[in-house]
């Protein structure tokens, strides 16, 4: 832990300074120019210590740790030496000879990616990118920026449960050269626990969506407004869509080889019991070519909200109990936003995928 008067270096920036005060996990550092700079404790390093808890790809210094012999104590001593002194840190080892404890059965995960604009000027901004571990697991992570087929390492390290780490900062100009962010995440807990499948996910970067101030909202994790992606949820949806796509291809291939398919009498829903709302952008505006993806999504969600409100108000009068929103497949963004809106506004409202035979994977049925 840092204290007032410590000399520190910035891990993600040039230079360092002297600690002037510490508030929770925020350390205020007076730099060489006399300015007080707030920094997270995970982004600072005392000048007399070279060992760090995270491993940025661009970090110039590295540290090695020696493992204990078989007859040593149940402690691992990590040592780093400078010209003037030696600093030791002690890490507890797990005693495997004890009776096994009941494993922690909480296997839910919630990994978030947050974007916060900084230095806004002339319609342009720099964006601080944070990784948020909002679950009971500790994680090991590797993050890389992808430009077409080229990968560039951003940062790798370990992130404890219920903590946040600053990954990097990127300008709005450089944002256009990044096609996606790639994440490799492994989940674990200290002691006994139930394992969770690792997460390998590539988040596509839409610079119009990221630079639109409308998408930045107040949140529980930061004092500033932020654009937050739920990586765990988006990874799960991507996996579901991948499996569904494979099943659809398999179904279509099998269908081609059937000479005389068995007659199927689908169960029809009475017209008075159902309403369709087509959210394809070409059905909502005359010319969509000049619209950005963010503008398209705003128009589609506005139409969805109005249709849903109208359906709820007239459900009894019109005797309509089901409404089908046709959103198409695409990249899944509109489908995800619809589900988020339903869960947030009317959590008790039931919804499901509409008939595959009639709509494929491109529609959601809501029961009103």
Is 86 found in the same domain as 192?
Answer: no
Mean of the pLDDT values across residues 160-176? 92
209 and 122: one domain?
Answer: yes
Residue 170 inside a domain? The answer is: yes
Map tokens 């198409």 to a residue.
328
Residue 217: pLDDT above 60?
yes
Specify which residues 19 forms β-bridges with.
29
Q: Which long-range contacts (CB under 8 A, 24 or more apart) does 127-130 make?
A: 127/169, 127/170, 127/171, 127/172, 127/175, 127/210, 128/166, 128/169, 129/166, 129/167, 129/168, 129/169, 129/170, 130/164, 130/165, 130/166, 130/167, 130/222
Nearest to 305 by CA among 313, 294, 295: 313
* One domain for residues 18 and 54: yes
Stated pTM of the model: 0.45
Residues 140 and 202 grouped into a single domain: yes
One domain for residues 318 and 274: yes
Res 25: pLDDT: 78
Over residues 5-15, mean pLDDT: 82
Note whether residue 318 is domain-resident.
yes
| Token representation of residue 241 | 């869509």
Domains held by the chain: number: 3
| pLDDT score recorded for residue 61 | 38
User: Would residue 243 count as lying in a domain?
Assistant: no
Question: Domain for residue 248, yes or no?
Answer: no
Q: Which domain, by its residues, includes 157? A: 111-235
Domain match, 198 and 127 both: yes
Please give the structure tokens belonging to residue 217: 């909202």
Question: Is 46 part of any domain?
Answer: yes
Q: What's the whole-number mean pLDDT along residues 213-227?
A: 92
Are residues 228 and 138 part of one domain? yes
Q: Is the pLDDT of residue 261 over 70?
A: no
Please identify, among 214, 235, 256, the residue that sits at the C-terminal boundary of a domain: 235
What six digits make up the tokens of 365?
């049925």
In a domain, 104, yes or no: no
Percent of the chain scored above 90 by pLDDT?
Answer: 26
In terms of domains, do 228 and 277 share one?
A: no
* Cα dist from 179 to 74, 158, 222, 340, whole Å: 47, 25, 26, 25
Is the domain of 78 the same as that of 124?
no
How many other C-beta atoms lie within 10 A of the C-beta of residue 49? Answer: 15
Looking at the domain assignment, is residue 247 inside a domain?
A: no
Residue 169 has a pLDDT of 93
Average pLDDT, the chain: 79
Average pLDDT over residues 4-23: 84
Asked whether residue 146 carries a pLDDT value surpassing 90, the answer given is yes
Q: Residue 288 sits in a domain of what CATH number?
A: 3.30.1370.110
> Does residue 41 sit in the same domain as residue 142?
no
Can you give the CATH number for the domain in which 159 is found? 2.60.40.1600
Same domain? For 53 and 140 the reply is no
360 assigned to some structural domain? yes
Inform me whether the pLDDT recorded for 365 exceeds 60: yes
Q: Mind listing the pLDDT tens digit for each residue in 293-310?
A: 888 888 888 888 888 888
**Are 125 and 78 contained in the same domain?**
no
pLDDT at site 202: 92
Cα 170 → chain centroid:
17
């Amino acid at each position: 832990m840092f204290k007032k008067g410590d000399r520190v270096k910035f891990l993600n920036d040039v230079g360092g300074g002297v600690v002037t005060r510490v508030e929770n996990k925020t350390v205020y550092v007076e730099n060489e120019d006399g300015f007080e700079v707030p920094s997270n404790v995970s982004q600072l390093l005392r000048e007399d210590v070279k060992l760090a808890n995270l491993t940025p790809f661009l970090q110039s210094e590295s540290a090695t740790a020696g493992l204990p012999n078989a007859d040593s104590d149940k402690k691992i001593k990590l040592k780093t030496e400078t010209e003037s002194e030696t600093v030791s840190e002690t890490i507890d080892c797990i005693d495997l000879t004890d009776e096994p404890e009941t494993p922690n059965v909480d296997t839910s995960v919630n990994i978030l990616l947050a974007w916060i604009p900084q230095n806004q000027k002339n319609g342009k901004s720099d964006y601080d990118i944070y990784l948020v571990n909002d679950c009971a697991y500790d994680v090991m992570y590797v993050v890389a920026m992808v430009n077409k087929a080229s990968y560039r390492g951003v940062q790798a390290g370990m992130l404890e449960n219920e903590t946040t780490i600053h990954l990097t900062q990127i300008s709005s100009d450089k944002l256009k050269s990044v096609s996606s962010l790639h994440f490799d995440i492994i989940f674990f807990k200290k002691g006994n626990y139930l394992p969770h499948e690792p997460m390998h996910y590539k988040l596509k970067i839409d610079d119009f969506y990221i630079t639109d101030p409308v998408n930045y909202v107040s949140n529980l994790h930061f004092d500033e407004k932020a654009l937050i992606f739920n990586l765990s949820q988006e990874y799960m949806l991507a996996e579901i869509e991948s499996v569904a796509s494979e099943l659809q291809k398999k179904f279509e291939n099998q269908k081609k080889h059937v000479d005389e398919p068995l007659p199927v009498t689908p169960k029809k829903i009475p017209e008075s019991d159902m309403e369709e709302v087509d959210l394809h952008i070409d059905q909502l505006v005359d010319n969509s070519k000049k619209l950005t993806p963010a503008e398209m999504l705003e128009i589609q969600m506005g139409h969805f909200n109005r249709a849903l409100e109208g359906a709820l108000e007239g459900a009894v009068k019109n005797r309509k109990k089901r409404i089908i929103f046709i959103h198409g497949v695409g990249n899944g963004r509109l489908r995800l936003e619809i589900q988020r809106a339903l869960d947030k506004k009317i959590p008790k409202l039931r919804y499901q995928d509409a008939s595959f035979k009639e709509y494929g994977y491109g529609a959601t049925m809501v029961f009103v």
